[in-house]
Structure 1
Amino acid sequence: MLIDAVTEILRETAEIAILPRFRALSAGDVSEKTPGEVVTVADREAEELISRRLRALLDAPVVGEEAASADPALLSALHDAPTAWLVVPLDGTANFVAGRPEYAVMAALVRSGQTVASWIVRPAEDDVYVAELGSGAWRNGIPVHRAAPPADPARLRGAVLTRFLDDDAKARVAAAEPRFAALTPGTKCAGVDYPRLLNGDQDFLLFHRTLPWDHAPGVLLLTEAGGAARHLDATPYSPSAPKLGLLSAADAASWRTVRTILLP
């Protein structure tokens, strides 16, 4: 099966290129690809291994995070090609470099601009999350569904990555913080934050940037488990036509509640 084959590719790549380097990177293994964003030899080697094996499994363009960061024209495959792969060789690279376990390996399959399958592998915890459009979501082979969140907003817990918000949006978020049970900056790794939302560790996530490799895997995982993920104007997320601002929540009702409180 395609689902199992991709899972094995991601897990085996993590064993080869990522896990041996965790807390064992040398200074020459890390560089800055853009101001404030680092990349490692593990990112590059893992992307090469995954991309080659995915193309052998299903011959389609591969949009890898590192390749597309260097050549944004590669993103056109997500809306021009009938089928395309999305690859995140190492999500949460800054955490990985700092020796923190909040990192992930992710992939997604996009058909006609829509995510139809996704994978999130958490090597440090040996957890695997998989979703298939119309079929559901699984954690380590067991079907999962997001439990209903509290109806009272004061009991909701969420995460907002404020780094890319403008000053007005940051001020609104700060003003809204006391109305929730908890509001954190998240883990700086979508491959950790989306599973935490799925598992009930938090009830909502707000991101400003919506790069497809960051969100396509997690959005499908969440929505197949009963959650809601939409742009701030309430339009659905699409990896082939992303726009700024993405709010994900445990269900549609909590999405509306959080949207009203955070960004009135």
Structure 2
Amino acid sequence: MNVDRLAAILKQAAQEEIMPRFRRLDEGTVQTKSGAFDLVTEADVGAERVITAAINAHRPDVLVIGEEAVAANPKLLDTNLEDRIVIYVDPVDGTANFAGGLPLFAVMAAVVQNGEPVAGVIYDPVGDDVLMAEKGCGAFQIFPDGRAIRQKFADPVPLSEMGGLASTMFLPMEQRTTVMANLAKVKMLANYRCAGHEYRYAAGGNVHFMMYAKLMPWDHVGGALIMREAGAHVAKFDGTPYHPSDLSGGLLVASDEESWTTLRHEVFTV
């Protein structure tokens, strides 16, 4: 599917279903799923409906797997990715931020063809710009006026000078305690509760590493492709490549393989 058309579909959904509700959510329109930080709003449901319908109208042969559809039918994650095109959709990434009125949320989509990621799109409804990548073509930030800026992940620095983004809440408690202590070895750590904005920030060369313990395809398939196209080294905790069907095993992103290995041994010893 054409990546520009996909970006336009995400933008349309944001304009119709998300932004009119930002800081205007009525009482009772925010629901809890698995916990206090796992929320769903009418904006999530409406945006996913619009995105799915628009993709199906253009490409009825494509299977769309959205976060909210999987919440209703978890068996969708068992889909065989071979010999087909699948588009994973996160209609509102960072729902807790959105529901809390914080302008750090994104709309994300990833295109997988025959089991391999071929495109990733992250749309920022507040800034009205897009981060996108196609396999082998580099990663770009596209602004409303048409400007396109090629993205480059940060150059390597020593461990003590590294700044990064890490989500530790899904690590088992014993491992989380170790990792949190080890993170004192780096210079800066942040977590924006929105993978979409974290990938956007990293693509522009603003951090030296990223770590995620929980892998859901709508959160990371597109972002991981964008990171690779921006020049980063991306692998699961065991050093193997990350694939769209992987739901566990963690994800570590770094400036290069040497930095990745240092972080894995010195910080993320899970």
Shorter-normalised TM range: over 0.9
Q: 2:254–2:260: 8 Å Cα contact kept in structure 1?
A: yes
The equivalent residue for 2:217 is: 212
CA spacing shift, 1:189–1:78, aligned 2, 3 Å: farther
**Secondary structure of the structure 2 residue equivalent to 1:27:** coil
The reply to whether residue 2 of structure 1 matches residue 2 of structure 2 is yes
**Aligned CA-pair RMSD:** 1.6
Q: TM-score, normalised by structure 2?
A: 0.92
> In structure 2, how many angstroms separate the alpha carbons of the residues matched to 1:82 and 1:155?
43
Secondary structure at 1:151 match in 2: coil
What is the alpha-carbon distance in structure 1 between the residues aligned to residue 153 and residue 164 of structure 2?
15
Contact 1:105/1:120 (CA < 8 Å) preserved in 2?
yes
- Give the alignment of 1:177-216 within 5 angstroms: 177-184=183-190, 186-216=191-221
Partner of 2:174: 168
Inter-partner Cα distance in structure 1 for 2:139 and 2:205: 15
Give the equivalent residue in structure 1 for 2:265: 260
1:244 is matched with which residue? 249
Gaps of 5+ in 1: none
1:139 maps to 2:141: yes
Deviation track 1:59-104 (CA, whole Å, cap 9, x = no partner) reads 2111000001221111233525511111110000000000001100
CA distance in 1, matches of 2:83, 2:65: 11
Equivalent residue, structure 2, for 1:13? 13
Secondary structure (helix, strand or coil) at the match of 2:81 reads helix
Of 229, 232, 236 in structure 2, the residue corresponding to residue 227 of structure 1 is 232
**How much does 1:250 deviate?**
2.6
- TM-score when normalising by structure 1: 0.94
Cα-to-partner distance string for 1:172-210 (whole Å, 9 max, x where unaligned): 2122122111123x1111101111111122211111110
- Which is further off, 247-256 or 23-32? 247-256
- Partner in structure 1 of residue 53 of structure 2: 52
Q: Which amino acid aligns with 2:130?
A: V
| Secondary structure, aligned partner of 1:28 | coil
Say whether residues 1:159 and 2:192 are aligned partners: no
- Bigger mean CA offset, 111-120 vs 148-157: 148-157
Partners of 1:129 and 1:178 in 2: how far apart?
31
Deviation at 1:127, TM superposition (A): 2.0
Partner of 2:95: 93
Higher helix share: 1
Contact 1:160 1:207 in 2 (8 A): yes
1:192-241 deviation per Cα after TM superposition (whole angstroms, max 9, x unaligned): 11111111222111111101111011101110111121100001111123
Matches of 1:163 and 1:231 in 2, distance apart?
17
SS at match of 1:118: strand
* 2:121 match: 119
How many residues are aligned here? Answer: 263
User: Structure 1 vs Structure 2: percent identity of aligned residues?
Assistant: 38
4+ residue runs of structure 1 moved beyond 4 angstroms? Answer: none
- Give yes or no for contact 2:151–2:205 (8 Å, CA) kept in 1: no
Aligned counterparts of 2:136 and 2:80: Cα–Cα separation in 1:
20
